[in-house]
Amino acid sequence: MRMQLGARLFDGPGPFIMGIVNATPDSFSDGGRYLEPAAAIAHALRLVDEGADLVDVGGESTRPGSAAVTAEEEIARVVPVIAGVRARGCRVPISIDTTKPEVARAALEAGADVVNDVSCLADPELARVIARAGVPLVLQHARGAAGAPAAYGDVVAEVARELRDALARAEAAGIPPDRVILDPGIGFAKQPEDDVALLAGLPALRALGRPLLVGPSRKKFIGALTGASVDDRVPGTLAAVTACVLAGVEWVRVHDVAPARQAALVAAAIRDAAARRAR
């Protein structure tokens, strides 16, 4: 992978770590903890200190049953965080996690470098905002509402096809494929068995030819497999991170940056040693 995100050129197979900053009152894992801008800014800087390569700031929860917010409210939550991180001299790239063109525009003006769209460009205007700004895009797979699991026959093949279609929509809107990262949308309108199948099927998604980002952090499938509560899912998250890196995924999106980075680096060393042995 070779991609410019803000001031940094990401070159190579990774692993790269995206740290999560939820400036929301109702996210499934840390709702309300970082709603105040000062707390969110401090958390973002802490994630950078722990080794985050990219900080993802969101102002609207995608937790099942969460209330929608207006663009104005979302802007009020995320812009002070992005501007505050930049005001403290932090040059680590920032992504704005939003589906709304107004929010993306305001966040980019405040200093964000990437748009992370969990709706897979459901709003054509968002695609136009991204194309005009010339910034990278994370296209995350979504089918239906996050709280209502969709029915799949072959989840890997269907997610691959729908991501390919979204990539074509992005290109038609003026976003070059070489500025797009793809995300299979773990936990988004999917059953635990779908998430496990997607993690097992990551090589098929790599065949789409774009860098992959996977967000397994503290997700429901870990609880379904282990019985662990949300706050006790770090070990399961690390297992999923390891699987992602061994499968060649470039980016992992996590709440717990320091342990995830350690797991990812060890997995990458094993991955690279296996590749050398295969040659």
Point out the residues that are catalytic.
219, 253
Domain count, the chain: 1
Classify strands 94-97 and 251-254 as parallel, antiparallel or unpaired.
unpaired
The CATH number of residue 267's host domain is: 3.20.20.20
Give SS3 for 114.
strand
Instruction: Give the pLDDT confidence score for residue 257 in this predicted structure.
Output: 98
pTM of the model: 0.94
Distances (CA, A) of 17 to 129, 256, 258, 267: 26, 10, 10, 13
Instruction: Give the pLDDT confidence score for residue 147 in this predicted structure.
Output: 59
Amino acid identity for residue 45 in this structure: L
Domain that holds residue 78: 2-278
Classify strands 8-11 and 2-5 as parallel, antiparallel or unpaired.
antiparallel
Collect the ranges in the chain with pLDDT lower than 50: none
Residue with tokens 């080794």: 51
Instruction: Give the pLDDT confidence score for residue 24 in this predicted structure.
Output: 84
3-state helix, strand and coil shares in percent for the chain, rounded to the nearest 5: 45, 15, 40
List phi, psi (to 5°) of 229.
Answer: -75, 170
Cα angle vertex 253, ends 163, 193, to 5°? 60
